Amino acid sequence: MMAQERLRIAVIGSGGASMAAALKAAEEGAEVTLIEKDVIGGTCVNIGCVPSKILLRAAHIAHIRRHSPFDHTITAKPPNIDRQKLNQQKKMRVEQLRDNKYEAILSENDAITVVRGEAKFHDTNTLKVSLNGGQEQLVSFDKAFIGTGARPAIPNISGLSATPYLTSTTALELTKTPSSIVVIGAGFVALELAQAFARLGTQVTILARSRLLSSEDPAIAEVIEEALTNESITICNDTEARYISYRNNSFKIELSDRALSSDQLLIATGREANTENLNLESIGVETLNGKILVNDYAETTANSIYAGGDCTNSPEFVYVAAALGKRAAINMMGGNAKIELSTMPTVMFTEPQVATAGLSEEKAIAQGLSVETRTLQLDQVPRALVNFDTCGFVKMVAERESGKLLGVQVIAADAGEVIQTAVMALRSELTVERLGNELFPYLTMVEGLKLCAQTFTKDLSQLSCCAG
């Protein structure tokens, strides 16, 4: 390639990972071809994060109009919920974000050409694109980025495929509030949607194969289970559906010892990668259970082929996808950018929210570290007390000898707004003593981090509530 020639980069997909890769590559001087077979923007803005959080927010408003800690002083009034208007409100915001943050940006960037169609690898330097109009087009590239995302995974339950079950995508489009719903799944998405449906007036039953949030600390699961149960959600742990049928507008879910009936059935058991039609094996890109294997530099097992997002073995969060996409672009252009995930924050948007960063106690011990932990219940946090909402806790994991902070878990109404402070403390390798001596604004939830850090060396019962 002559020195004056621009590097040709092909990007498959247009979600968070692909957009970050395309924009950074264009910024660095590449000639980018972005191929998208569906709606520009991918899962997050169209059918995932954005519309689901709008639904969760609406459900929160509905909930506090029915129930709040101030019901004995401020009269509650049951809300009238118009799902069709709610869907229109949601659709309007989704379209606004897609138009402003995806389509407009692409259309205004002369270095990026958008091709509408489905791509697969023809060889190590060529994509064959089946255009949406019916023709085929070959796209040559020097390097390529794969960001094809994922779709809801459907478990192999007898009878399920013959029924009109909901997924995390289709559940957001219901025009009527069902009177009852069974949710199969116990992870972030399942619990967020279960609580939202309950708050919008649906009787909800959750079927968990083991327990809620099986990959998280059991103490977190206990708090969330209690919170959901208090909202009249039925939780069936250690329960699997054996057979599912649908007759007369009703689902029948057969368990080992009984059967359940419901108006709707939501399957929320994870996601599977959209990689089966890319012809990856022909160019040496290895996958595991359909997910493309990438390293911390977004490199696949094939030279000049990079990937990021939910189609890979990286954590399924849009901010991780975007970070990998950006680093892939830097590396495709000759750089050496590595993603660092040891302090990666996670947030589940139930109420209370669950936010974590760094190592849990279990993972720290598994790594052979000698640790100390402290758990501060929210009834020790002034902001939670004045809110009359003390469901949750702050937990910290620290290295025993040095006191260096290793991990933080926050379960609170605003945990997602708190956790980034913990991330910065972890990245700065602060000790719990140093964190406990920092200035935090009083009557904020983030002050809970300071108070929890202080419990490593102090008895909080002997401290003034606003002079610690």
Q: What is the 3-state secondary structure (H, E, C) of 269-312?
A: CCEEECCCCCCHHHHCCCEECCEECCCCCCECCCCCEEECCCCE
- Cβ-in-10-Å burial (0-12, 13-18, 19+) of 136 comes to exposed
The answer to whether 232 and 205 have CB atoms below 8 angstroms apart is no
Question: Residue 428 is encoded by which pair of tokens?
Answer: 């700065």
Distances (CA, A) of 189 to 56, 283, 349: 11, 34, 9
The answer to whether 180 and 200 have CB atoms below 8 angstroms apart is no
Distances (CA, A) of 385 to 170, 412, 443: 39, 12, 9
Distance from chain centroid for Cα 111: 31
How much is the pLDDT for 463? 78
Q: Distance between CA 245 and CA 254 in Å, rounded?
A: 8
| pLDDT value at 27 more than 50 | yes
The 10s digit of each residue's pLDDT in 377-392 is: 999 999 999 999 999 9
Cis peptide before 164 (omega within 30 of 0): no
Q: Determine how many CB atoms are found less than 10 A away from the CB of residue 118.
A: 18
Q: Distance between CA 319 and CA 356 in Å, rounded?
A: 15
Q: Distance between CA 157 and CA 246 in Å, rounded?
A: 13
pLDDT band at 468 (very low <50, low <70, confident <90, very high): low
Q: Distance between CA 382 and CA 239 in Å, rounded?
A: 39
Q: Distance between CA 245 and CA 252 in Å, rounded?
A: 5
| pLDDT value at 1 more than 50 | no
Give the torsion sign (CA, 85, 90, 94, 99): positive
Which amino acid is present at 261? S
Q: Distance between CA 302 and CA 440 in Å, rounded?
A: 48
Distances (CA, A) of 366 to 12, 126, 272, 306: 38, 45, 28, 31
- Smallest CA-to-CA distance from 152 within 180, 112, 174, 184 is with 184
Residue indicated by tokens 């209690």: 226
CA dihedral 352, 357, 360, 364 (to 10 degrees): -170
| pLDDT value at 346 more than 50 | yes
| Average pLDDT value for the chain | 97
Tell me phi and psi for residue 449, to 5 degrees: -65, -45
Q: Distance between CA 429 and CA 444 in Å, rounded?
A: 23
Question: Residue 283 is encoded by which pair of tokens?
Answer: 């160019």
The 10s digit of each residue's pLDDT in 403-447 is: 999 999 999 999 999 999 999 999 999 999 999 999 999 999 999
Q: What is the mean pLDDT of residues 124-139?
A: 97
| pLDDT value at 342 more than 50 | yes
> Please, what's the b/e burial string for 273-283 (b: 16 or more CB within 10 A of its CB; e: otherwise)?
bbbeebbbeeb
**3-class DSSP state of 415:** helix
What are the chain's domains? 8-152+272-332 (3.50.50.60), 160-269 (3.50.50.60), 346-462 (3.30.390.30)
**Angle, in degrees to the nearest 10, between helices 83-98 and 49-66:** 140
Residue indicated by tokens 């403390």: 425
Q: Distance between CA 50 and CA 56 in Å, rounded?
A: 10
Distance from chain centroid for Cα 277: 25
**3-class DSSP state of 31:** strand
pLDDT band at 466 (very low <50, low <70, confident <90, very high): low
The 10s digit of each residue's pLDDT in 245-263 is: 999 999 999 999 999 999 9
- Cβ-in-10-Å burial (0-12, 13-18, 19+) of 1 comes to exposed
Strand partners, 411: 354, 393
How much is the pLDDT for 467? 57
Residue 37 φ/ψ region, left for φ over 0, alpha for ψ in the -120 to 50 degree band, beta for the rest: alpha
- Smallest CA-to-CA distance from 293 within 432, 281, 388 is with 281
Q: Distance between CA 93 and CA 397 in Å, rounded?
A: 39
Q: What is the mean pLDDT of residues 61-76?
A: 92
| pLDDT value at 215 more than 90 | yes
| pLDDT value at 280 more than 80 | yes
pTM for the full predicted model: 0.95
DSSP H or E run through 241: none
The 10s digit of each residue's pLDDT in 82-95 is: 999 999 999 999 99
